[in-house]
Amino acid sequence: MQLNPIGEDNTLLLVDDDEPFLRRLAKAMEKRGFSVETADSVAAGIAIATARPPAYAVVDLRLADGTGLDVVETLRERRPESRIVVLTGYGAIATAVAAVKIGATDYLSKPADAQDVMNALLTDSDELPPPPENPMSADRVRWEHIQRVYELCDRNVSETARRLNMHRRTLQRILAKRSPR
């Protein structure tokens, strides 16, 4: 597939605090013709977006030092025509809406591969990108949601079970299992 960037500018900013994922995605996007710059925090992402605003960006929603939406806002201010994809391991309607409202072009749930990211970055805003090759299963989406609520409840099983309207023992069994594919 031939890269069709905005003009001749193929600069890409990747912001993610998952170091192995960041390296793999950077390498894959370089092979696809992008000039990649990486950041592992909100502060580093904002610094790059301010100094050298790229034509494209892929930003993780939850980072160790804050929310990736701050990077999206900075990039929108500095370069309004940039195409931004927000990635997250915790897909939720509310965060998708927030990301799109402040200027994200698309929103993908992890694990997203380089082809899914590239499709989201290069698809015209009028047309929908093709569906992912390997979307998450319904069991995986359910497991991700439970994990998210569990983390938000500071890993308190009783509180998580109450919020999910689930029996505590059932939740303990789910948490003890490996994540589904």
- Looking at the predicted structure, is the pLDDT value of residue 111 above 80? no
Higher pLDDT, 167 or 127: 167
Q: Cα(74)–Cα(76) distance, rounded to whole angstroms?
A: 5
* Residue 2 pLDDT: 46
* Residue 6 pLDDT: 47
Q: Cα(9)–Cα(79) distance, rounded to whole angstroms?
A: 12
* Separation of first and last alpha carbons in the chain: 28
* Residue 3 pLDDT: 46
**In this structure, is the dihedral angle defined by the CA atoms of residues 121, 127, 129 and 130, taken in order, positive or negative?**
negative
90 burial via Cβ count (<10 Å: 0-12, 13-18, 19+):
middle
Q: What is the mean pLDDT of residues 18-36?
A: 89
Domains of the chain, first to last: 11-122 (3.40.50.2300), 138-176 (1.10.10.60)
pTM, to two decimals: 0.68
